[in-house]
Amino acid sequence: MGRQLLCKRQRSMVKNKADLLKTGEAGIWKGENMKLSSAKRILAGGLCGIMLVSAVPPAEVLAASDISSVVESNLNIKESQIRQQLTGDLILPDTVEGLDGASIQYSVAEEDAPYVKVEGNTLKITRPYAGQGNYDFTLTATVAANDASCVKEFPMTIREGDKDDSYAGYLYVCFANKGGSDVQQIHFFLSEDGLNWTALNGCNPAFLAGSDYTDRVYKTDNVNYAVAEETNIEETTAGDASVLFPFEGEDQGIRDPYMLRGAKADGSDSDKVWILATDLNTMAPQYGGNWGTMSHDGSTSLFIYETEDFVNWTRRWVDVGSEIEAGAAWAPEAIYNPEKDNYLIYWSCRVATDGYSRNRIYCNETDDFVTFGPTKMYEQEAFYKNWGKLVNANDGYGNIDTSQLWVADTETGDPYGTVYRVVKDETDNHIELMSADSVLDPNVDYDSSDPGRITPYEKDGTLFTTLEELNGAGYNDYQRADVVWNWFRNESAGNHFQKIDQAGMEKYSGAYEGATMFKFFDRDEWCVMIDYYGKNSVRYEPYVTYDLSQPDSIRKVSDGYGRTGGDVGCHGGMIPVTLEEYNTLLDTYNSDAGVDNYHALSYISVDKRELEEVLGQLDEAIRDTEHYTAAKIQKMKNWKSLGESYAEDSTVSFEKISQVVTNAKNLMGEVKPEKLNTWSYEDGNWYYYNEAGEKAKGWLKLLDTWYYLKDDGVMATGWLKLGNTWYYLKGNGAMATGWQLIENTWYYLKDSGAMATGWLRLGNTWYYLKDSGAMATGWLKLGNTWYYLKDSGAMATGWLKLGNTWYYLKDSGAMATGWLRLGNTWYYLKDSGAMATGWLKLGNTWYYLKDSGAMASSQWIGKYYVNASGAWTKTR
């Protein structure tokens, strides 16, 4: 568990290693009685944990070493070993067995003081406030005996205060027993410790807490119910708690319910909870109380209930057994299979293939508990081999009531480290524990396995291939068990588990079944619950262990457990529930004080200590008119009033408490400045305090100038983007407008302060601002059009000379190309926009452009003549 052990002896007597290797000096141990290598091994540290005192003989050194081993073995703090999340003070051991007269001094680090301190042998605990997280620390025990001291360290954890989503208790779903008779309906029990349970709804069926469909159910006798005639069952599959009645069932009874939470890898079903249950009422008249008839001619369907809030439910009735000719389908449970990211639902039954000779576990895969894969064989234990002879001949040495859970790998943190299984051996009705690394046997092809396929098996020189052949062999149940088990050994997809001996659990036999397991949420301890059906006043009993992997580690809880009054829960399942869920279950199933056998339960409240502390601080702050404005004090009063109402509300959410705490702290942290309606320079930033003494936020207009204060109140400077709009705040915070030269670039800010982009007309002059807001100069291409912006940013029009080249920009600013007529004169602008001069050939025609760019017409140019259209037509 990460504990560290260090032993030392009076370090002050030894200066350094070299001193101890000297010989003959007074006060220094001579090395003649120990080889140098051994001396080095001791000296190299307290490495082995021992330090030497002057003139200590070798015998005492060994005694000191013995002290360390005794302390390591015999000084233990269970809460550290099992990683218990502490919620209250803890009494620490004050003696060490085997070290008479030894003293133990406990200590913690200085930085742990806000949460833990040591007073004698009592560890005084202060839980972190809800939302602060658990607090880990190291408890150091210094043990002194025989002039030596040993130090042992214990890692410890203090649990934070409870929030709505903190696990705060446990929910037990089951059928019940009243006066020796099974009440075969869904029942709920609650517990804060997982050992002591109180029934909800007065230990009456949970469906009676609903109202949607209870008028369609009537009581037939003291413990049985039936569906009213002409009830449309399809209309009853979704609604409140009344959905929990087994409307579709053949017997209107429910047994062996089991509960699990969604666990898909993507978290898509993490808010779902399912209850799986057997469709059976053993007191139905068609069975005549005969368990054999129930197992041959029972329902092959299972009930599946789904909820996300324990208030609203949906119900499904799923046939899983008829396809394998099952006689019934009992005690369903399910486990998440991380290798396939799905669930395996498994259940007990007998099948026609072997003449209903024994119970096995069969299974189906599902992603959502709505659709299911084909039925496969999951588990048929070879229990007959354990006996080696004909014993009791009960159910052909079958196995029922398998329950499984995952235990995390503490080294890797993988939540799916080892899967543990408890299963009932029907031979003498005891429970066994097993484990594996996977839900399915990796050596069995699950998809191609066939639960009805017989692999021929030879026994005593005879090859058995059919039930008829086996029936004619004259074998007793033990011999038949050998044949039947070998028929199906290749089809069982979950027989790879290895047994872990648990004598303290296995010794209980005769009337034990329905085992299930759960982990306590606040420590590394597991509970195995076993239904002792031989005593109806007791039924489920707890067995616990700190390590399921260790043989003989499971022990029956001797005392400190039970149920309220005469409430008796039977075969079922348990899960941890959050504080919010716990209180919701109380509201939904424990609200009618008039119900017979009703037991009041109390809400579990979220952690209110920080709220109570803040309310006290608010009380003082409200009287502090020197530092707080009247407006702020009024706000404090409002939050104080709300907080006081929350303090009295046992069901208030942590979210609401946090809202009060946060807002109150913010108010108290914002003290009144020396002057209201003024600027304040604090920690390198400017703030503006308004007339309420609060830091202004957002746009602020003072006289004719706008400022922007960020969400934290800091005055903005420089560029600021709000939504899709940019603004510029000067160094003094003032919002800029008009032309602004910023880092050698001109920008234009409109009267609203918004940075201009695109074309901008000021007076009769056009400017272009790029997407960045920067003013464009020089040539600018927009689409297929060129423009020229002067150094001033003004858009050029008319003739423009750049270097030795003339260009013409139209009134729109667009650069002209091709023929251009100005007045009565034609010009030609090349594709580059440059004005043409001299001879110009366009197509097959020559033109002459004068130095001014004007096209010549109706005249001789040297020996060439150009006509009225400017085209060269003749030569002289």
Predicted local distance difference test score (pLDDT) of residue 163: 97
Q: Is 751 left (phi over 0), alpha (psi -120 to 50) or beta?
A: alpha
Q: Is 824 exposed, middle or buried (0-12, 13-18, 19+ CB in 10 A)?
A: exposed
Contact 568, 538 (CB under 8 A): yes
Question: Strand, coil or helix: what is 661?
Answer: helix
What does the buried/exposed string (b/e) look like for 702-719 if buried means 16 or more CB atoms within 10 Å of the residue's CB?
A: eeeebbbbeeebbbbbee
Predicted local distance difference test score (pLDDT) of residue 65: 65
Predicted local distance difference test score (pLDDT) of residue 64: 58
Predicted local distance difference test score (pLDDT) of residue 61: 39
Matching residue, tokens 């008249």? 285
From CA 34, how far away is CA 361, in angstroms rounded? 65
From CA 65, how far away is CA 812, in angstroms rounded? 100
Contact 289, 264 (CB under 8 A): no
Give tens-digit pLDDT for 395-446: 668 999 999 999 999 999 999 999 999 999 988 889 999 999 999 999 999 9
Predicted local distance difference test score (pLDDT) of residue 387: 86
| Segments of the chain scoring below 70 in pLDDT | 1-65, 392-396, 671-675
408: Cα separation from own chain's centroid: 15
Give tens-digit pLDDT for 473-520: 999 989 999 999 999 999 999 999 999 999 999 999 989 999 999 999
Q: Is 81 exposed, middle or buried (0-12, 13-18, 19+ CB in 10 A)?
A: middle
Q: Is 120 left (phi over 0), alpha (psi -120 to 50) or beta?
A: left
From CA 421, how far away is CA 441, in angstroms rounded? 14
Q: Which of 610, 405, 389 is nearest to 517 (CA)?
A: 405
